[in-house]
C-alpha cells in the first residue's frame, strides 16, 4: 500500500482553469504538507496542516486553497491557474513536528499552457 | 529555523564512501538534523535523523560533532543508484516547516 498517494500524477491545463490535486495518507499521521518544486528544483513549503487545522501558510496566493476533510486527506485546489503555477507539487505527512522524518507522495506535475 | 549550507554538487565512483557535510552554524538547542534523498521525478525520502554524536542505520551514518554546527552524512560504498540530490534540514520538534535548501547533487560514476 502506498503510504502517501497523490492524484493525478500529471495534470495539463489551460490558464484560467480551476483544478484540484488530491492527497491521502494511510500512516495515521497528524500533520500533512503541500510543497511546490519549481523548474530550478527548489522545494518550498506551501501549507502545513495538523489534525485538519491550518498551521502554516507560507505567503501562498489565495488562489491556492487547501482543504482537509479529515486528517488522512489534504487536497489542494487552485483557482485561475497561471503559467507560473507550472511545477511539481508534493504532498507529505509526518508525525507532529516532522520527527523521524516525513513521507512524501510521488508528486503531481502540473503544466499550465 | 537554522539555515543550512551544503556543497552544490559532488562526484564519486561506485564502491567509494561518500561524505556530504552540512553547515548549520545557528542550530538551536532543540533542533534535530535530518537528511533526505530525492531521485528525479520522485518525492524526497527520509534517510536519517540525529541530534548529537553518531547515528547509523541500514542506509547511512550521520556524524554530528559536539558543537553541532555541522553534520556529515556518510554513504558507505555508493552505487549508481545512489545518484540523487541530498538535502540537509535542521529544525525542532515543534510544527517545523521542513525547510529544504538547495541540496547536494551527488553523481556516482561507474
- Whole-angstrom CA distances from A98 to A48, B34, B62 are 11, 10, 18
Cell digits of residue B55: 547515528
CB A47 within 8 A of CB A53: no
* Rounded Cα distance, A13 and A21, in Å: 13
Q: Which of B2-6, B31-35, B99-103 has the highest mean pLDDT?
A: B31-35
Quick check: A41 contacting B, CB < 8 Å? yes
CB A65 within 8 A of CB A46: no
Q: Is the pLDDT of residue B35 over 80?
A: yes
CB A106 within 8 A of CB A6: yes
CB nearest A101 (choices: B34, B92, B100): B34
Neighbouring C-beta atoms of residue A51, cutoff 10 Å = 12
B13-28 residue pLDDT tens: 999 999 999 999 988 8
Reported as type and span, the H/E element at residue A26 is none
Name the β-bridge partners of A20.
Answer: A77
Burial of A5 (0-12, 13-18, 19+ CB in 10 A): middle
A1-44 residue pLDDT tens: 679 999 999 999 999 999 999 999 999 998 899 999 988 888 88
Which of B44, B85, B106 is the best substitution to test chain A (most A C-beta atoms within 10 A)? B44
Pairwise CB contact (< 8 Å): B49 & A103: no
Best CA proximity match to A72, nearest among A17, A10, A42, A30: A30
Cis omega (within 30 of 0) for bond into A8: yes
Q: What's the 3-state SS for A67-84?
A: EEEECCEEEEEECCCCHH
Quick check: B40 contacting A, CB < 8 Å? no
Q: Is the pLDDT of residue A98 over 90?
A: no
Q: Which residues of A touch B102 (CB under 8 A)?
A: 41-42
CA-nearest residue of chain B to A97? B95
Q: What is the pLDDT of residue B54?
A: 95
Q: What is the pLDDT of residue A99?
A: 59
Pairwise CB contact (< 8 Å): A103 & B95: no
Amino acid at each position: 500500500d502506498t503510504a502517501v498517494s497523490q492524484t493525478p500524477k500529471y495534470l495539463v491545463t489551460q490558464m484560467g482553469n480551476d483544478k484540484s490535486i488530491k492527497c491521502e495518507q494511510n500512516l495515521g499521521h497528524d500533520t500533512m504538507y503541500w510543497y511546490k518544486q519549481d523548474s530550478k528544483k527548489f522545494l518550498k513549503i506551501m501549507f502545513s496542516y495538523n489534525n485538519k487545522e491550518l498551521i502554516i501558510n507560507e505567503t501562498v496566493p489565495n488562489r491556492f486553497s487547501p482543504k482537509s476533510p479529515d486528517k488522512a486527506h489534504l487536497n489542494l485546489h487552485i483557482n485561475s491557474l497561471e503559467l507560473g503555477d507550472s511545477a511539481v507539487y508534493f504532498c507529505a505527512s509526518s508525525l507532529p513536528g516532522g520527527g523521524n522524518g516525513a513521507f512524501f507522495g510521488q508528486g503531481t506535475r502540473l503544466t499550465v499552457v | 529555523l537554522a539555515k543550512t549550507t551544503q556543497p552544490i554538487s559532488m562526484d564519486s565512483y561506485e564502491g567509494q564512501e561518500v561524505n556530504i557535510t552540512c553547515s548549520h552554524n545557528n542550530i538551536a538547542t532543540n533542533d534535530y538534523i535530518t537528511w533526505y534523498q530525492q531521485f528525479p521525478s520522485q518525492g524526497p525520502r527520509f534517510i536519517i535523523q540525529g541530534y548529537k554524536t553518531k547515528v547509523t542505520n541500514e542506509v547511512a551514518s550521520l556524524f554530528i560533532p559536539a558543537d553541532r554546527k555541522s553534520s556529515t552524512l556518510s554513504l558507505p560504498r555508493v552505487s549508481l543508484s545512489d545518484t540523487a540530490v541530498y538535502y540537509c534540514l535542521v529544525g525542532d520538534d515543534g510544527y517545523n516547516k521542513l525547510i529544504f535548501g538547495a541540496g547536494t547533487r551527488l553523481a556516482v560514476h561507474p
